[in-house]
Amino acid sequence: MIWLGGWWLFALLVVVVLIALHELYTMTRSLRPLVLAGYTGAFLALLGAQLGGIEWALGGFMTTFALAFLLKGTAETRMPTTVSIGTTVLGAGWIGLGLAHLILLRGIPVHAQLAALTVVLAVFAGDTAAYAVGRLLGRHKLAPLTSPRKTWEGLIAGAVVCILVPFFAMYKAHFLSVPQSLTLGVVIAIAAPLGDLFESALKRDMQVKDAGTLLAGHGGVLDRIDAPLFAVVAAFYLLAAFGFA
Protein backbone atom coordinates (compact mmCIF):
# COMPACT_ATOMS: atom_id res chain seq x y z
CA MET A 1 0.00 0.00 0.00
CA ILE A 2 2.97 2.32 0.55
CA TRP A 3 4.07 1.48 -2.99
CA LEU A 4 0.58 2.18 -4.38
CA GLY A 5 0.19 5.40 -2.41
CA GLY A 6 -2.90 7.60 -2.82
CA TRP A 7 -6.08 6.47 -1.16
CA TRP A 8 -4.69 2.96 -0.64
CA LEU A 9 -2.07 4.33 1.73
CA PHE A 10 -4.63 6.66 3.30
CA ALA A 11 -6.95 3.72 4.05
CA LEU A 12 -4.10 1.73 5.59
CA LEU A 13 -3.03 4.62 7.81
CA VAL A 14 -6.57 5.33 8.98
CA VAL A 15 -6.81 1.76 10.28
CA VAL A 16 -3.34 1.89 11.86
CA VAL A 17 -3.99 5.27 13.49
CA LEU A 18 -7.35 4.28 14.94
CA ILE A 19 -5.94 1.07 16.43
CA ALA A 20 -2.83 2.81 17.80
CA LEU A 21 -4.91 5.62 19.28
CA HIS A 22 -7.23 3.10 20.89
CA GLU A 23 -4.22 1.43 22.49
CA LEU A 24 -2.81 4.74 23.72
CA TYR A 25 -6.10 6.00 25.12
CA THR A 26 -6.77 2.64 26.77
CA MET A 27 -3.31 2.70 28.31
CA THR A 28 -3.88 6.26 29.60
CA ARG A 29 -7.55 5.91 30.51
CA SER A 30 -6.80 6.95 34.11
CA LEU A 31 -5.90 10.38 32.67
CA ARG A 32 -9.37 10.64 31.09
CA PRO A 33 -8.46 11.46 27.47
CA LEU A 34 -11.30 12.82 25.35
CA VAL A 35 -11.12 10.06 22.79
CA LEU A 36 -13.65 11.44 20.30
CA ALA A 37 -11.60 14.62 19.92
CA GLY A 38 -8.42 12.60 19.50
CA TYR A 39 -9.88 10.30 16.85
CA THR A 40 -11.36 13.26 14.98
CA GLY A 41 -8.17 15.32 15.02
CA ALA A 42 -6.02 12.39 13.94
CA PHE A 43 -8.37 11.47 11.10
CA LEU A 44 -8.56 15.06 9.88
CA ALA A 45 -4.77 15.30 9.98
CA LEU A 46 -4.54 12.28 7.68
CA LEU A 47 -7.32 13.58 5.43
CA GLY A 48 -5.70 17.00 5.26
CA ALA A 49 -2.35 15.49 4.27
CA GLN A 50 -4.07 13.45 1.57
CA LEU A 51 -6.08 16.35 0.15
CA GLY A 52 -3.90 19.41 0.57
CA GLY A 53 -0.47 18.82 2.08
CA ILE A 54 1.18 19.93 5.28
CA GLU A 55 -0.97 23.02 5.83
CA TRP A 56 -4.18 21.06 5.66
CA ALA A 57 -2.75 18.27 7.82
CA LEU A 58 -1.82 20.78 10.50
CA GLY A 59 -5.22 22.44 10.24
CA GLY A 60 -6.95 19.09 10.68
CA PHE A 61 -4.87 18.29 13.74
CA MET A 62 -5.57 21.70 15.31
CA THR A 63 -9.28 20.89 15.51
CA THR A 64 -8.34 18.54 18.36
CA PHE A 65 -7.84 21.49 20.73
CA ALA A 66 -11.25 23.08 20.17
CA LEU A 67 -13.17 19.81 20.16
CA ALA A 68 -11.36 18.53 23.26
CA PHE A 69 -12.15 21.75 25.12
CA LEU A 70 -15.83 21.51 24.18
CA LEU A 71 -16.02 17.87 25.24
CA LYS A 72 -14.19 18.57 28.49
CA GLY A 73 -16.85 21.13 29.35
CA THR A 74 -19.55 18.46 29.16
CA ALA A 75 -17.56 15.53 30.56
CA GLU A 76 -18.39 14.27 34.04
CA THR A 77 -14.81 14.00 35.28
CA ARG A 78 -12.73 15.90 37.80
CA MET A 79 -9.47 15.25 35.98
CA PRO A 80 -7.67 18.58 35.43
CA THR A 81 -8.15 20.11 31.99
CA THR A 82 -4.39 20.25 31.44
CA VAL A 83 -4.04 16.50 31.92
CA SER A 84 -7.16 15.42 30.06
CA ILE A 85 -6.77 17.66 27.03
CA GLY A 86 -2.98 17.24 27.06
CA THR A 87 -3.31 13.45 26.77
CA THR A 88 -5.87 13.84 23.99
CA VAL A 89 -3.72 16.22 21.98
CA LEU A 90 -0.64 14.04 22.51
CA GLY A 91 -2.37 11.12 20.80
CA ALA A 92 -3.71 13.10 17.87
CA GLY A 93 -0.39 14.86 17.28
CA TRP A 94 2.03 12.04 17.96
CA ILE A 95 0.13 9.32 16.10
CA GLY A 96 -2.27 11.09 13.72
CA LEU A 97 -0.13 13.99 12.57
CA GLY A 98 2.96 11.82 12.81
CA LEU A 99 1.70 9.22 10.35
CA ALA A 100 0.25 11.96 8.16
CA HIS A 101 3.87 12.68 7.31
CA LEU A 102 4.11 9.28 5.64
CA ILE A 103 1.42 10.49 3.24
CA LEU A 104 3.40 13.69 2.74
CA LEU A 105 6.60 11.73 2.19
CA ARG A 106 4.84 9.49 -0.33
CA GLY A 107 3.65 12.61 -2.14
CA ILE A 108 7.00 14.30 -2.81
CA PRO A 109 7.49 15.20 -6.50
CA VAL A 110 10.39 12.81 -7.26
CA HIS A 111 11.15 9.22 -6.21
CA ALA A 112 8.24 9.24 -3.75
CA GLN A 113 7.84 5.46 -3.70
CA LEU A 114 11.55 4.94 -3.13
CA ALA A 115 11.74 7.58 -0.38
CA ALA A 116 8.77 6.29 1.61
CA LEU A 117 9.76 2.64 1.40
CA THR A 118 13.41 3.37 2.16
CA VAL A 119 12.62 5.25 5.36
CA VAL A 120 10.24 2.56 6.61
CA LEU A 121 12.60 -0.28 5.68
CA ALA A 122 15.57 1.51 7.25
CA VAL A 123 13.69 1.80 10.54
CA PHE A 124 12.61 -1.84 10.62
CA ALA A 125 16.01 -3.13 9.46
CA GLY A 126 17.77 -1.02 12.08
CA ASP A 127 15.37 -2.23 14.76
CA THR A 128 15.99 -5.84 13.76
CA ALA A 129 19.78 -5.38 13.83
CA ALA A 130 19.60 -3.65 17.20
CA TYR A 131 17.52 -6.47 18.65
CA ALA A 132 19.77 -9.24 17.28
CA VAL A 133 23.07 -7.66 18.30
CA GLY A 134 21.66 -6.58 21.65
CA ARG A 135 20.59 -10.14 22.42
CA LEU A 136 23.90 -11.65 21.30
CA LEU A 137 26.47 -9.07 22.37
CA GLY A 138 24.66 -6.50 24.49
CA ARG A 139 26.37 -5.77 27.80
CA HIS A 140 25.89 -2.06 28.44
CA LYS A 141 22.38 -0.79 29.15
CA LEU A 142 21.24 2.18 27.06
CA ALA A 143 18.41 3.47 29.27
CA PRO A 144 17.97 1.08 32.20
CA LEU A 145 15.12 3.02 33.80
CA THR A 146 13.14 3.65 30.60
CA SER A 147 13.82 0.52 28.53
CA PRO A 148 15.96 -2.04 30.40
CA ARG A 149 16.43 -4.38 27.41
CA LYS A 150 18.06 -1.88 25.09
CA THR A 151 21.85 -1.78 24.93
CA TRP A 152 24.50 0.49 23.47
CA GLU A 153 25.78 -2.38 21.36
CA GLY A 154 22.35 -2.83 19.82
CA LEU A 155 22.00 0.92 19.28
CA ILE A 156 25.29 1.08 17.38
CA ALA A 157 24.39 -1.91 15.20
CA GLY A 158 20.98 -0.44 14.44
CA ALA A 159 22.52 2.93 13.60
CA VAL A 160 24.94 1.37 11.12
CA VAL A 161 22.09 -0.40 9.33
CA CYS A 162 19.93 2.74 9.34
CA ILE A 163 22.76 4.63 7.63
CA LEU A 164 23.53 1.92 5.07
CA VAL A 165 19.94 1.36 3.87
CA PRO A 166 19.34 4.94 2.59
CA PHE A 167 22.85 5.02 1.11
CA PHE A 168 22.38 1.91 -1.01
CA ALA A 169 18.75 2.70 -1.83
CA MET A 170 18.92 6.41 -2.62
CA TYR A 171 22.49 7.11 -3.70
CA LYS A 172 22.61 4.08 -5.96
CA ALA A 173 19.29 5.17 -7.47
CA HIS A 174 20.84 8.58 -8.26
CA PHE A 175 18.30 10.31 -6.04
CA LEU A 176 20.52 11.75 -3.30
CA SER A 177 24.20 12.59 -3.22
CA VAL A 178 26.55 10.65 -0.95
CA PRO A 179 26.49 13.32 1.83
CA GLN A 180 22.69 13.64 1.56
CA SER A 181 22.05 9.89 1.71
CA LEU A 182 24.41 9.49 4.68
CA THR A 183 22.79 12.45 6.45
CA LEU A 184 19.37 10.90 5.95
CA GLY A 185 20.65 7.67 7.43
CA VAL A 186 22.07 9.48 10.46
CA VAL A 187 18.78 11.32 11.01
CA ILE A 188 16.83 8.06 10.88
CA ALA A 189 19.38 6.40 13.16
CA ILE A 190 18.79 9.12 15.75
CA ALA A 191 15.04 9.61 15.36
CA ALA A 192 13.97 5.95 15.36
CA PRO A 193 15.48 4.99 18.75
CA LEU A 194 14.14 8.22 20.25
CA GLY A 195 10.66 7.26 19.09
CA ASP A 196 11.08 3.84 20.65
CA LEU A 197 12.32 5.29 23.93
CA PHE A 198 9.51 7.87 23.95
CA GLU A 199 6.86 5.17 23.87
CA SER A 200 8.78 3.14 26.47
CA ALA A 201 8.73 6.15 28.78
CA LEU A 202 4.97 6.48 28.39
CA LYS A 203 4.44 2.78 29.09
CA ARG A 204 6.61 3.02 32.19
CA ASP A 205 4.55 5.99 33.40
CA MET A 206 1.39 3.97 32.89
CA GLN A 207 3.03 0.82 34.34
CA VAL A 208 2.26 -1.43 31.38
CA LYS A 209 4.57 -3.77 29.47
CA ASP A 210 2.97 -3.40 26.02
CA ALA A 211 0.58 -0.89 24.51
CA GLY A 212 -1.67 -3.70 23.30
CA THR A 213 -1.98 -7.42 22.59
CA LEU A 214 -3.16 -7.43 18.98
CA LEU A 215 0.19 -8.70 17.64
CA ALA A 216 0.61 -11.40 20.27
CA GLY A 217 4.28 -11.59 21.32
CA HIS A 218 5.04 -8.30 19.58
CA GLY A 219 2.60 -6.27 21.68
CA GLY A 220 0.25 -3.83 20.01
CA VAL A 221 0.27 -1.75 16.85
CA LEU A 222 1.67 1.23 18.72
CA ASP A 223 4.61 -0.90 19.84
CA ARG A 224 5.43 -1.54 16.16
CA ILE A 225 5.11 2.03 14.87
CA ASP A 226 6.75 3.97 17.71
CA ALA A 227 10.07 4.31 15.88
CA PRO A 228 8.56 5.21 12.45
CA LEU A 229 6.43 7.91 14.11
CA PHE A 230 9.60 9.90 14.79
CA ALA A 231 11.69 8.76 11.83
CA VAL A 232 9.13 9.50 9.10
CA VAL A 233 8.62 13.05 10.36
CA ALA A 234 12.36 13.71 10.59
CA ALA A 235 13.00 12.22 7.15
CA PHE A 236 10.28 14.29 5.49
CA TYR A 237 11.61 17.59 6.80
CA LEU A 238 15.18 16.68 5.93
CA LEU A 239 14.16 15.90 2.35
CA ALA A 240 12.22 19.17 2.34
CA ALA A 241 15.39 20.94 3.43
CA PHE A 242 17.21 19.24 0.56
CA GLY A 243 14.58 20.69 -1.80
CA PHE A 244 12.71 17.48 -2.63
CA ALA A 245 9.41 18.22 -0.85
pLDDT in tens, the chain (245 residues): 999 999 999 999 999 999 999 999 999 999 999 999 999 999 999 999 999 999 999 999 999 999 999 999 887 778 899 999 999 999 999 999 999 999 999 999 999 999 999 999 999 999 999 989 988 887 888 877 777 778 889 899 999 999 999 999 887 677 899 999 999 999 999 999 999 999 999 999 998 888 877 877 678 899 999 999 999 999 999 999 999 87
For residues 119 and 72, give the distance between their C-alpha atoms in angstroms, rounded to a whole number.
Answer: 38
Q: Nearest Cα to 29, choosing from 206, 177, 159?
A: 206
Q: What is the pLDDT of residue 94?
A: 97
Q: What is the pLDDT of residue 25?
A: 96
For residues 75 and 72, give the distance between their C-alpha atoms in angstroms, rounded to a whole number.
Answer: 5
Cβ proximity of 196 and 142 under 8 Å: no
For residues 165 and 11, give the distance between their C-alpha atoms in angstroms, rounded to a whole number.
Answer: 27
Q: Nearest Cα to 200, choosing from 136, 152, 142?
A: 142
